[in-house]
Amino acid sequence: MTSTRERILETSLMLFNRDGERNVTTNHIAEALGISPGNLYYHFRNKADIVFSLFERYEQIVTGFLSVPEDRPLTWEDKIGYFEAILESMWGARFFHRDLGHLLNQDARLRERYGVFVRQSLDRGLLVYEGLRRSALMDASDETLRALLVNTWVLAASWASFVHSLVSPARQNEALDRTLLRQGIYQIICLEAPYLRGEAQSHLAMMKARYSDQGTDTMALLFGA
């Protein structure tokens, strides 16, 4: 049986993702669960504690997929695996990405933890890029790999907030939001494209097609076309 604490986290995540963290109170969460506010406060002191716990879960997910297999070289299929993992983590915690600045400014503990998370994730991400280079799937200097990694991180972390700001509230829905998020992976692929080699380069068109605008007006939102 799922514990009350886990139910609170799952319901909070659903409400935060759907309505935005700023529009959800602890009373809203308790009402959605059918429990008293006092019961919720028994498990979490306030909403900031809930957000922090959800970030800890997100941190574990990202740490889990940012790794390099020890028993084999990386392949171009691994790149798809990383892209899918990035997409799913962005989607699962999209409220966090949409309102990152606000959340970090509201909670000094979260801000400090996020800074450590970013540095550790960049270290792990660099190992991934170096693994791709060893597998002859990328060709770039150490300096270029670090710059590319930072650009990729900034894009992934801010993309949800960027595109969310371009869509009117009346048009926002999960189908469109997820499609726009997929476009963020396409942008990452475009950043990496000049440095791809071997099978990664030969599958570039396929990777772009997998994540590009699929009949929606993503580019129209961005360019006003």
Tell me: do 28 and 70 sit in the same domain: no
Give the global pTM.
Answer: 0.89
Tell me: do 154 and 168 sit in the same domain: yes
Helix 47-65 crosses helix 26-33 at what angle (to 10 degrees)?
Answer: 80
The CATH number of whichever domain residue 73 belongs to comes to 1.10.357.10
pLDDT in tens, 73-119: 999 999 999 999 999 998 999 999 988 999 999 999 999 999 999 99
Tell me: do 28 and 54 sit in the same domain: no
The CATH number of whichever domain residue 7 belongs to comes to 1.10.10.60
Mean pLDDT of 63-75: 93
| Residue 145 lies in domain | 47-223
Tell me: do 33 and 136 sit in the same domain: no
The reported pLDDT for the residue numbered 213 is 67
Of 16-20, 24-28, 127-131, the range with the lowest mean pLDDT is 16-20
Tell me: do 12 and 91 sit in the same domain: no
The Cα–Cα gap between 121 and 138 comes to: 20
pLDDT in tens, 132-185: 999 999 999 999 999 999 999 999 998 888 887 777 766 666 666 778 888 899
Tell me: do 34 and 126 sit in the same domain: no
The reported pLDDT for the residue numbered 219 is 67
Alpha-carbon separation of residue 96 from 57, 72, 158, 182 (angstroms): 12, 34, 10, 17
Tell me: do 40 and 131 sit in the same domain: no
pLDDT in tens, 25-36: 999 999 999 999
